[in-house]
Structure 1
Amino acid sequence: MITILFNVLFYVLNIYFWIVVIAAIYQTLASFGVIDTRNRVVWMIGDFLYRATEPALRPIRRILPDLGGIDFSPWILCLLIRLVAMPVLARIYAALVLGDVHGLLL
């Protein structure tokens, strides 16, 4: 049962990682005028991506200095997901399922 829970968490983090990447690409394309945000379908996609990623990106944007229109917060969030959240989740899984408590301390 716990293995299924951790697999679901891994998949959710992976899907959220890709949502952040797609949102960053969408914002870049919209800012350069490549996609028409007045189109209803395109606007709905952008609204979904904004609502899905903004709660996680807002604290990162508060910490980062203003870089003149360049937004590095999605890439920092992607790094946090890949380099922090996934390994931490793997260590917790190893500690619970395999009994490797020493892995949590490192």
Structure 2
Amino acid sequence: MVALIQTLLLALDIYWWLIIASAIFSWLFAFNVINSRNQFVATIGDFLYRVTEPALRPIRRIMPDLGGIDISPIILLLILFFVRQLIITTIAPALI
């Protein structure tokens, strides 16, 4: 059971970094720092969008319009942090 919890925590950590990478990529794309016509860059952007958008879309739907500021990745990171801490402090000690 410990292996399952550790695998779940690793998956949460990987998703955490994918959300950060997606946010950084969107900033670089918005400020035209990266070449969006490059096939490799477009593939990375598409991958990050497809991985993070299903979790970010419901948050964006609930959040009020803040103009050009998108804080949905921050909210999702806070939710992931809460779930990770819940697993570490509540579920894991009960199973060990």
Q: Where does residue 87 of structure 2 map in the other structure?
A: 89
Task: Compute the RMSD of aligned alpha carbons.
Answer: 0.8
Q: Where does residue 102 of structure 1 map in the other structure?
A: none
Say yes or no: does 1:57 pair with 2:56: yes
TM-score, normalised with respect to structure 1: 0.86
Larger Rg: 1
- Does the residue aligned with 2:34 lie in a helix, a strand or coil? coil
1:65-84 paired onto structure 2 within 5 Å: 65-82=64-81, 84=82
TM-score, normalised with respect to structure 2: 0.95
Identical amino acids, percent of aligned pairs: 51
Q: Where does residue 12 of structure 2 map in the other structure?
A: 13
1:25-64 paired onto structure 2 within 5 Å: 25-64=24-63
Q: Tell me, which stretches of 5 or more residues in structure 1 are unaligned? A: 98-106
- Does the residue aligned with 1:57 lie in a helix, a strand or coil? helix
Aligned length: 95
Larger RCO: Structure 1 or Structure 2 (Cα < 8 Å, ≥ 6 residues apart)? 2
Give, in angstroms, the shift of residue 35 of structure 1.
0.7
Q: Tell me, which stretches of 5 or more residues in structure 2 are unaligned? A: none
Runs ≥4 residues deviating over 3 A: none
